[in-house]
Amino acid sequence: MKILVTGGAGFVGSHLCTRLIEDCHKVICLDNLYTGRVENIEPLMENDNFTFVQQDILEHLDISNLDRIYNLACPASPPAYQSDPIYTFKTSVLGIMNMIDLSIANGNIPLLQASTSEIYGDPAVNPQPESYWGNVNPIGIRSCYDEGKRAAETILMDYYRGKKLPIRIVRIFNTYGPNMDPQDGRVVSNFITQALNNHKLTMYGDGEQTRSFQYVSDLIEGMIRMMENEKDFIGPVNLGNPEEYTMKELAKLILELIPESKSKIVHKKLPSDDPKVRKPDIALAKEKLGWEPTVPVREGLLKTIDYFRSL
């Protein structure tokens, strides 16, 4: 198949491109390198089935004979998406509209949207099932991302109901692994790089807030199962690891896995609207896709630590 991956040079996108190439597809990777990195796709560049197009998703894109579109283009870490919030919102909302047009131009091909656990906001329900509508501040500093991704889900559902567009929506929970940008400010990359460099681990707030971390290969498997499911299951479906950690527990685990580290913890101000809890209910993914995470957090963190060591 000929498959377009937008945001293909990013952390998740690069793993998806790699897997699709391994599965013998032709892959077109679209990325403007705003947060994506050429290093992530360097190993694919020599492959005849791989094409890299450096272009913004907001620009018109003319590609024919496509079979699938995975839409991942959007800055995704809080510091990255907050650095230009207007651009982030446009990337989500106008970006998905461009991809909808491209799907239609190619004869209504399946379009998978990388949505996010952020659409649940600061959840009043834990764990979060897909049926939960969320608790989102529409005017806060995270809203450009949260509301942008919510709007993208909205327009996709309207095209599905009104035009029978074959959509797929996955809500991605915190994901980690090799190819994460050491500079992107996420907790896993920050803690690991800080621990490896004997710098203080920056704990925002009291560290009692929770997240659930899935290893990237589990996510990629879930995304492909979702795209290729033959039950016409459109989602939204949560993809995440339901093992829940406080940030204190995560810091402790990372320091245990890097025993030579002399790092201590320093507390910093909690950013506004930072969700207090986050944990996916994955019953739907299990039922519809036969999917659940297989990589234990300890094992995934060790692989990620090896990656950061190698940089």
Q: Which residues bind ligand UDP (CB under 6 A)?
A: 77-78, 174, 186-187, 190, 202-204, 209, 211, 247, 270-271, 274
Q: Helical H runs in the chain?
A: 11-22, 38-41, 78-83, 85-105, 143-163, 187-196, 216-228, 247-257, 283-289, 297-310
Task: Pick the closer one to ligand UDP by CB: 51 or 246.
Answer: 246
The one catalytic residue in 70, 81, 120, 145 is 145
Task: Pick the closer one to ligand UDP by CB: 163 or 267.
Answer: 267
CA-based R_g, the chain, Å:
19
Active site residue 145: yes
Q: Which one-letter DSSP state was computed for residue 51?
A: E
What's the closest the beta carbon of residue 165 comes to ligand UDP, in angstroms? 29
Closest CA to 31 of 51, 46, 49, 1: 51
Task: Pick the closer one to ligand UDP by CB: 67 or 274.
Answer: 274
Match 């839409």 to its residue by tokens. 71
What's the closest the beta carbon of residue 37 comes to ligand UDP, in angstroms? 18
What's the closest the beta carbon of residue 118 comes to ligand UDP, in angstroms? 6
- Assess contact for 221 and 285: CB atoms under 8 A: no
Residue 70 phi/psi, 5-degree rounding, is: -105, 120
Task: Pick the closer one to ligand UDP by CB: 39 or 206.
Answer: 206
Q: How far apart are CA 175 and CA 160, in angstroms?
A: 28
What's the closest the beta carbon of residue 101 comes to ligand UDP, in angstroms? 29
* Residues annotated catalytic, as ranges: 145
